[in-house]
Amino acid sequence: MSTKTNLVLDLTMFGAFLVISNPRFTGSMIHEWLAVSLAGAVITHLLFHWEWIVKVGGEFFKKLWHQSRLNFVVNILFFISMTGSLFSGLMISESVLSTFGIHLNVSQSWRSIHTLMSDVSLIMLGIHFALHWKWVTTNLGRYLVNPVRNLFKRPATESNVMAVQRVRVNNDK
Amino acid sequence: MKTILKIIAILLVASVIAGGFSLAVNNISSTSGPTGGGQPPAMTSADGQSTQPMARPEGGDNEGGASIADGLSGILFTLIKLTGITAIVLLIEKVYGMLSSRKLSPAER
């Protein structure tokens, strides 16, 4: 999978996460359905990185310490917190489950778990983001910042080119 | 076919985690007494009589509705929290990197 596709997916997920973490912005119905879509995006993200997961998972107990192991542990905790958050959200949902004709008694415990897991997910996202800081900044620069900067750069006109050449000739003299 | 198997594997792991959460909630509910953990605790007034908690008015706190101003400030607050967490982790990484490079430098040996 290309880096550009990865970046687009990751940025979309990041935006969705920000919106989902503030249900007041969208209202509960969009909050719930967007969270279901995010679950799909998480699965796609994991499929994109499947080889890494299998490789590091296989080597997990072989080496005592390396950066990938820290990444792996953080990613596992992130996955657990996201699953907990999404599942507890489903258990207290008003529109998603009722669409399928399922009506559950909303338990206060599920609400507490939803709040707790959402907070943990936010912390894990921050750590996950920091551990991939180099990748994110490099590719944001390559695929987003530089193309936008190039758009606003003045194209070199013929008179500009002539002026530059004249300066060079004068300097040579 | 391979992708479907991978998706099934991911969903399987997710179901195990969800099952763990379900067990935890069931345990909390069973240990928290007859209210089942899902009901608010019974309230008693100063003279010992039981009172009913006041019902929440429908839509009074705008829980289901959207407020763009509130939402935007919430998003901004979330971004600030994320920036703080990221900065702390990057700082720890930098300090750890500096310490380990100092340990390994030949001048120190």
Query: Which of B2, B3, B10 is best to mutate for the A interface (most A CBs within 10 A)?
Result: B10
Determine the Cα–Cα distance for residues A10 and A16; give it in Å rounded to an integer.
Answer: 10
CB contact under 8 A, B89 and A106: no
B13, B25, B71: residue with CB nearest A110:
B25
Q: Which positions in chain A touch B38 (Cβ < 8 Å)?
A: 105-109
Spell out which residues of chain B touch residue A110, defining contact as CB-CB under 8 Å. 25
The shortest C-alpha distance from A10 to chain B (Å) reads 15
The position carrying tokens 């894990």 is A124
State pTM to two decimals.
0.78
Contact B10 A125 (CB under 8 A): no
Q: Which residue of A has its CA nearest to B10?
A: A43
Predicted pLDDT of residue B101: 83
Please report, for chain B, the start and end positions of each structural domain, with discontinuous segments joined by +: 1-33, 68-109
**Structure confidence at residue B29 (pLDDT):** 74
Candidate from A19, A83, A109 with C-beta closest to B14? A83
Q: What is the pLDDT of residue B28?
A: 78
Output the DSSP codes for A35-83.
Answer: HHHHHHHHHHHHHHTHHHHHHHHHHTTTSS--HHHHHHHHHHHHHHHHH
Q: Which of B11, B81, B85 sits opposite A127 (nearest CB)?
A: B85
Smallest CA–CA distance, residue A17 to chain B, in Å, is: 10
B44 vs B74 pLDDT, higher one: B74
Ranges of chain A whose pLDDT falls below 70:
63-65, 154-161, 164, 167, 169, 171-173
Q: Using one digit for the tens of pLDDT, what is the confidence trace for B15-73?
A: 999 999 999 888 877 776 554 444 544 445 555 555 544 444 444 445 556 788 888 99
**Chain B: residue whose CA lies nearest to A42:** B10
Residues A109, B14: C-beta atoms closer than 8 Å: no
Report ipTM for this prediction: 0.79
- Considering CB atoms only, which of B29, B39, B86 is closest to A126? B86
> Residue B8's pLDDT band (boundaries 50, 70, 90)?
very high
Could you tell me which chain A residue has the CA closest to the CA of B87? A130
Asked whether the CA dihedral B11, B13, B17, B22 is positive or negative, the reply is positive
Query: Do A107 and B36 contact (CB within 8 A), yes or no?
Result: yes
**Burial code of B39-63, b = ≥16 C-beta within 10 A, e = fewer?**
eeeeeeeeeeeeeeeeeeeeeeeee
* Pick among B22, B29, B82 to test the A interface (most A CBs inside 10 A): B82
Residues 6+ positions from A106 with CB-CB distance below 8 Å: A91, A92, B38
Q: Which of B65, B75, B84 sits opposite A18 (nearest CB)?
A: B75
For residue B83, the chain A residue with the least C-alpha distance is A126
